[in-house]
């Protein structure tokens, strides 16, 4: 029996990760051996390479002259079931290096030989029955009878490079998933289906939010009216939050003379991610992959006093980056996107306070979209870096001090910072437990140096300001995708492109419906009137499919009483409400950025 698939409640079945379950680790290790044995039985020319477990299953990479197809997976699975049913023992054998070499050469497995060269004693291998063995550290189940033939599935074939190196041989990887029980497998598949249901690419099409057009090119986003309306709401909220936090806004060009990118260093260090330059008159121009040099130039446009600092400038800056073909993914990875970029220029002693303020603003903005669970990483000085020790120490301590003042737990990525400064990265957790990195705060000792930024200190000397880069959404496109998946397209009332749809039961009430529509719109509520003339059941179905937060049924009863019958996606049947009261509730909900109509 499959587990319940329709229940919105947390699943009764918990799915342990491999790293949390010794038994699953054994199962998945063994499963990959069983798969490799099955593959070599069906494709004797396939050579084995590596086959580790993953958090939800396992894979094995093969070098095979025959490309594996989805159809082959069925045959492989069938063969695996046979092996499982034979209850073959898995036995650990410790051998000398010479013995291992001899055995590997006997079966002509060059990849295994390479692996052997890289491992230390003791060298162990696991036999699977008396026909097949693999170099492996284990652990494994005692015999294949411990594997549940009804609790595994082969999921996909993919290309993978030997040793993860794209200059090395391309191998064929088969991914599988394996569990202790069929119920766990069913739950795993339910979760996969749930992720698919939330896929922002699917929802983007279904809800008519955005598209990506072949004719325009890969990785370039077209925001449709519904998506654009949402983006505007997000941007408006973002701008207001920034003004409230003491930021000013900038608008800067999309292109600039290439010499700017020489000065900034991007031409040297970032060229492969940039669109090519364009010739205009006698000059070469470069489409911007980042906003920072523009903000730096704006800073440098006047002599700054220490009294002006901190200067906080933000911009919704659209940048273009060259992404290699094949890496684009919906809104998540694109070639043109808008960063919610900001740069803070401050005095060294202001670092901690500024970082705390940025963390506060980050929390305020992310929590408005119901992201309240974060994972934070602090990355410190790498081996190859610029800047003086004292500055690095001051800056790193500033970041630590801010995190501690905020009371946020964080992990330290020793040496993981950029060459130009330490940073804080923040990941958010979505409704189905996935983590996404959006926000980043980076200190930069490089650009102020390259552009010779300065301010006049109290003693009249010229000093270099501290520069902080930060983004909260990261990219508006990417954040929009993450947010859409987080809400599964069921956007909160304040953010929905179409908040209330009026559904007239008969043509007789059309006049009244139009009057109500006018009132709602004048009050700033995003309302529409369904003109299709279909029966009510159909109007409701269409409205629900478009995930409209509130459907308002209007029949003769409502028309006579000056009211509406409300059906809320989040809140259920809200009964009959007077028009004036609905306008008040909707306006309040918009002002408070509420999820629903009721407070």
Partner RNA sequence: GCCCUUGUAGCUCAGUGGUAGAGCACUCCCUUGGUAAGGGAGAGGUCACGAGUUCAAAUCUCGUCAAGGGCUCCA
Contacts with RNA by CB under 7 A: the residue count is 64
Would you count residue 266 as binding RNA (CB under 7 A)? yes
- How far apart, in whole angstroms, are the C-alpha atoms of residue 511 and residue 527? 16
Active-site choice (72, 134, 340, 341): 341
Would you count residue 540 as binding RNA (CB under 7 A)? yes
| CA proximity to 474, closest of 586, 371, 550, 345 | 371
- How far apart, in whole angstroms, are the C-alpha atoms of residue 220 and residue 234? 20
Q: Judge contact between 217 and 186, C-beta under 8 A.
A: no
Among 11, 161, 252, 353, which residue interacts with RNA (rule: CB under 7 A)? 161
Would you count residue 201 as binding RNA (CB under 7 A)? yes
Residues from 500 through 539 that contact RNA (CB under 7 A): 504-508, 532-538
Q: Which is nearer to RNA, 363 or 444 (CB)?
A: 444
Active-site choice (33, 200, 469, 501): 469
Among 400, 567, 568, 589, which residue interacts with RNA (rule: CB under 7 A)? 567
Among 94, 349, 544, 584, which residue interacts with RNA (rule: CB under 7 A)? 544
Active-site choice (40, 339, 350, 499): 339
Q: Which is nearer to RNA, 198 or 231 (CB)?
A: 198
Would you count residue 343 as binding RNA (CB under 7 A)? no
Q: Judge contact between 203 and 488, C-beta under 8 A.
A: yes
Q: Which is nearer to RNA, 2 or 217 (CB)?
A: 217
Would you count residue 333 as binding RNA (CB under 7 A)? yes
Among 4, 7, 69, 96, which residue interacts with RNA (rule: CB under 7 A)? 69
Q: Which is nearer to RNA, 192 or 283 (CB)?
A: 192
Q: Which is nearer to RNA, 90 or 513 (CB)?
A: 513
The yes-or-no answer on residue 469 being catalytic is yes
Among 5, 52, 236, 269, which residue interacts with RNA (rule: CB under 7 A)? 269
Among 553, 582, 586, 597, which residue interacts with RNA (rule: CB under 7 A)? 553
Q: Which secondary structure element, helix H or strand E, spans residue 206, and what is its range?
A: helix 200-206
The yes-or-no answer on residue 343 being catalytic is yes
- How far apart, in whole angstroms, are the C-alpha atoms of residue 20 and residue 11? 18
Would you count residue 5 as binding RNA (CB under 7 A)? no
The yes-or-no answer on residue 341 being catalytic is yes
- How far apart, in whole angstroms, are the C-alpha atoms of residue 527 and residue 517? 6
- How far apart, in whole angstroms, are the C-alpha atoms of residue 37 and residue 76? 9
Contacts of residues 203-209 at CB distance under 8 Å and 24 or more positions apart, as own/partner, are 203/484, 203/485, 203/488, 203/489, 204/330, 204/331, 204/481, 204/484, 206/489, 206/545, 207/489, 207/546, 207/547, 209/484, 209/497
Q: How many CB atoms lie within 10 A of CB 208?
A: 14
Q: Which is nearer to RNA, 398 or 543 (CB)?
A: 543
Query: Beta strand pairing status for 255-257 and 283-287?
Result: antiparallel
Among 82, 228, 270, 408, which residue interacts with RNA (rule: CB under 7 A)? 270
The string of DSSP codes covering 508-547 is: GGHHHHHHHHHHHHHTT--EEE--S---HHHHHHHHHHTT
Active-site choice (26, 28, 288, 321): 321
User: What angle (nearest 5°) sits at the alpha carbon of residue 407, between those of residues 405 and 410?
Assistant: 110
- How far apart, in whole angstroms, are the C-alpha atoms of residue 122 and residue 127? 16
Would you count residue 275 as binding RNA (CB under 7 A)? no
Would you count residue 165 as binding RNA (CB under 7 A)? yes
- How far apart, in whole angstroms, are the C-alpha atoms of residue 169 and residue 461? 59
Contact residues: RNA, CB under 7 A: 67-70, 156-161, 164-166, 170, 172-173, 201, 205, 212, 214, 217-219, 266, 269-270, 273, 290, 323-330, 333, 418-419, 504-508, 532-538, 540-541, 544-545, 551, 553, 555-558, 565, 567, 573
């Amino acid at each position: 029996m499959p587990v319940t698939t329709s229940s919105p409640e947390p699943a009764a079945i918990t799915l342990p990760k491999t790293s949390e379950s010794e038994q699953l680790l054994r199962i998945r290790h063994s499963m990959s051996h069983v798969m490799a044995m099955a593959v070599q039985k069906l494709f004797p020319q396939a050579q084995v390479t590596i086959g580790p477990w993953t958090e939800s299953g396992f894979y094995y990479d093969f070098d095979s002259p025959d490309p594996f197809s989805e159809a082959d997976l069925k045959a492989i699975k069938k063969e695996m079931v046979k092996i499982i049913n034979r209850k073959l023992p898995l036995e650990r054998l410790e051998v000398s290096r010479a013995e291992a070499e001899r055995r590997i050469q006997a079966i002509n497995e060059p990849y295994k030989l390479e692996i052997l060269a890289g491992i230390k004693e003791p060298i162990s291998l696991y036999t699977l029955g008396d026909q097949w063995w693999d170099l492996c550290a284990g652990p494994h189940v005692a015999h294949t009878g411990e594997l549940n033939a009804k609790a595994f599935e082969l999921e996909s074939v993919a290309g993978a490079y030997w040793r993860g190196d794209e200059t090395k041989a391309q191998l064929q990887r088969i991914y599988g998933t394996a569990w202790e029980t069929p119920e766990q497998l069913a739950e795993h598949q339910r979760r996969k289906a749930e992720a698919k249901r939330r896929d922002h690419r699917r929802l983007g099409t279904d809800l008519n939010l955005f598209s990506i057009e072949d004719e325009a090119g890969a990785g370039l986003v077209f925001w449709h009216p519904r998506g654009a309306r949402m983006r505007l709401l997000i941007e408006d909220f973002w701008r207001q939050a920034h003004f409230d936090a003491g930021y000013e806004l900038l608008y800067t060009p999309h292109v600039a003379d290439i010499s700017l990118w020489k000065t900034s260093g991007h031409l040297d260090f970032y060229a492969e991610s940039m669109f090519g330059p364009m010739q205009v008159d006698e000059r070469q121009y470069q489409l911007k992959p980042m906003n920072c040099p523009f903000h730096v130039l704006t800073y440098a446009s006047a002599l700054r006093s220490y009294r002006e600092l901190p200067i906080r400038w933000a911009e919704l800056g659209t940048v273009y980056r060259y992404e290699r073909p094949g890496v684009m993914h919906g809104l998540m990875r694109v070639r043109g996107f808008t960063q919610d970029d900001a740069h803070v220029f401050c005095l060294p002693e202001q670092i901690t306070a500024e970082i705390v303020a940025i963390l506060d603003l980050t929390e305020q903005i992310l929590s408005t979209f119901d992201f309240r669970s974060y994972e934070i990483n602090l990355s410190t000085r790498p081996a190859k870096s610029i800047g003086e020790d004292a500055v690095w120490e001051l800056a790193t301590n500033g970041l630590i001090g801010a995190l501690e003042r905020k009371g946020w737990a964080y992990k330290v990525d020793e040496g993981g910072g950029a060459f130009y400064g330490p940073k804080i990265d923040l990941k958010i957790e979505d409704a189905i437990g996935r983590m996404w990195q959006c926000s980043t705060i980076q200190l930069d000792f490089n650009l102020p140096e390259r552009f010779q930024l300065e301010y006049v200190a109290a003693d009249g000397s010229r000093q270099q300001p501290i520069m902080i880069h930060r983004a909260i959404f990261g990219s508006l496109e990417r954040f929009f995708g993450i947010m859409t998946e987080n809400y599964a397209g069921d956007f909160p009332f304040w953010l929905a492109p179409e908040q209330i749809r009026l559904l007239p039961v008969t043509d007789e009430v059309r006049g009244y419906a139009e009057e109500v529509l006018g009132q709602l719109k004048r009050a700033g509520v995003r309302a529409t009137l369904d003109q299709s003339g279909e029966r009510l059941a159909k109007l409701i179905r269409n409205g629900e499919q478009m995930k409209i937060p509130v459907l308002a049924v209007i029949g003769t009863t409502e028309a006579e009483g000056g009211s509406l019958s409300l059906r809320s996606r989040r809140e259920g049947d809200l009964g009959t409400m007077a028009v004036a009261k609905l306008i008040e509730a909707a306006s309040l909900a918009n002002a408070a950025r509420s999820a629903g109509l009721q407070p």
